[in-house]
Structures are given as structure tokens and as C-alpha cells.
Amino acid sequence: MSVTEKLGGYASVAASAGRSAGAATLKSRTALVDAVGRLVDAAVERVLLSDDRVTSAADGKLRLSGQTGTEELADKVQRVVVLATPFVRAAARGAKLTRLPWVMIASSSFSVGVAVRTGVREIQVLSSLVAFRIERATGAPADPQLVEKVAVDLYLNPKRNVDLTDDRLRLVRLTRKWLLLGAFGRTSSKRAGKALEAADKLDGGDLAARWDALLLSRSPG
């Protein structure tokens, strides 16, 4: 049998298995993204309920260097890890066919847990700085949804201007990022530092005004 025929056979088997498992996989993926969303919601909520604020990028980096725990979110972190681990292990099994050197790392739920715990702590510190910039400019409490939106956007892409015309959280991208960080055993500390630097330059008053305009445009009547 030629290599082409073998590959064709593998593809047919994979397609058949994919059709039978497709519904379950979609359900699992949706549950994972939902769990990430609940984790981020709770993390940002805890930040905003506190009077303690990160006041600068330097302050944020110092706090992250200490890496205080996220024990109060342990149940939600564990839920994400449990749901994420099968996806990472599936990627590892596929990687064996190409003999990628990171296969042993990718199969470990421990590395996923580290990525999620570190990531959610970075989002908390970033959210605190975003809230500080808005509150200092407006003299009023920051809208939690605005803080969460800005923090997640900056965390994912510090170089991109925050687009408030779309108020949805990029939870699929965030989930994928944490899975990849866990699979490769990499850290996001450098990107988190750049996100803090970007947040330190935000015009809090402009963000609040644009957000209010967006909400007003969507209100009935």
C-alpha cells in the first residue's frame, strides 16, 4: 500500500470517528469555554469588591513577581483544568505521530493548572489597574463589564487598541491561549508585563464615555 493510500485510510477512519464523537466534543468544548468565563467573572469581581488597586504598571509587575495565590478561586480553576486536560492529552496523542519533543509536557494536567492559575492572577492584576485608570478619571466606580472586557483584550493582545464596538469577551481565544501555554509549558509573564504597560497608558475617561455611549445605543427607545 502506498503512503498516499495509507494516509487516505487514516483520514477515512478519523472522519468516521469524528462524526460519532462530534456532538460530545462540541459539548465538552462549550463547557470548557463557559467554565473559563465563570472563572474570569469571579476573578474580576473579587478585584472590584476590594478597595486595593494596582496604580501603575510597575506596581502590577511587582505584585505578579510575588505571585500571591488564587485559593479563593480554587474550585473554578479546578473545573477549568478538569475540562481542559482531555483536550491537551488528545493533542499529545496526535503529537506522538510527529514525534514532537513536548509530548510529555502536553499530557500533564499539572502544566495546564499552572497556566490557568497564573493567567487568572495576571488578569486580576491587570483588571485592578484598568479599574484604577477609569475610577481616577471619572471619580466613580468602574463598570465591571468594561473592566473585564478591557483587561481580557489587553491580556490577549497588548499592542492592539481596545475596540469597544464589540463588547463580547474573547473567551474562546483566552481558553485556547491557556491550553497552549499549558501544553508547551510556557509562561505569559512577558506578555502580561506588556499588557500592564498598555493599561498604564489608558485614557480612563475616554473608555468610560465610549462604553456609556455603546450601552445607550443599545437601550430600547
pLDDT, tens digit, for every residue of 164-212? 988 788 999 999 998 888 777 677 788 999 999 999 999 999 999 999 9
Q: Please give the helix or strand (H or E) that residue 6 lies within, else none.
A: helix 3-49
Report domain extents, the chain: 26-218
pTM: 0.81
Work out the end-to-end distance of the chain between its first and last CA atoms, rounded to an integer number of angstroms.
69
CA atoms 188, 71, 151, 134: torsion sign = negative
**pLDDT digit string, tens, across residues 26-71:** 788 999 999 999 999 999 999 999 999 999 999 999 999 876 667 7
Judge whether residue 25 has pLDDT over 70: yes
DSSP 68-126: ---GGGHHHHHHHHHHHHHHHHHHHHHHHHHT-TTHHHHT-HHHHHHHHHHHHHHHHHH
Per-chain mean pLDDT for the chain: 83
Under 8 Å between Cβ of 53 and 131: yes
Judge whether residue 21 has pLDDT over 70: no
**pLDDT digit string, tens, across residues 80-119:** 988 988 887 766 555 554 444 444 444 567 788 888 999 9
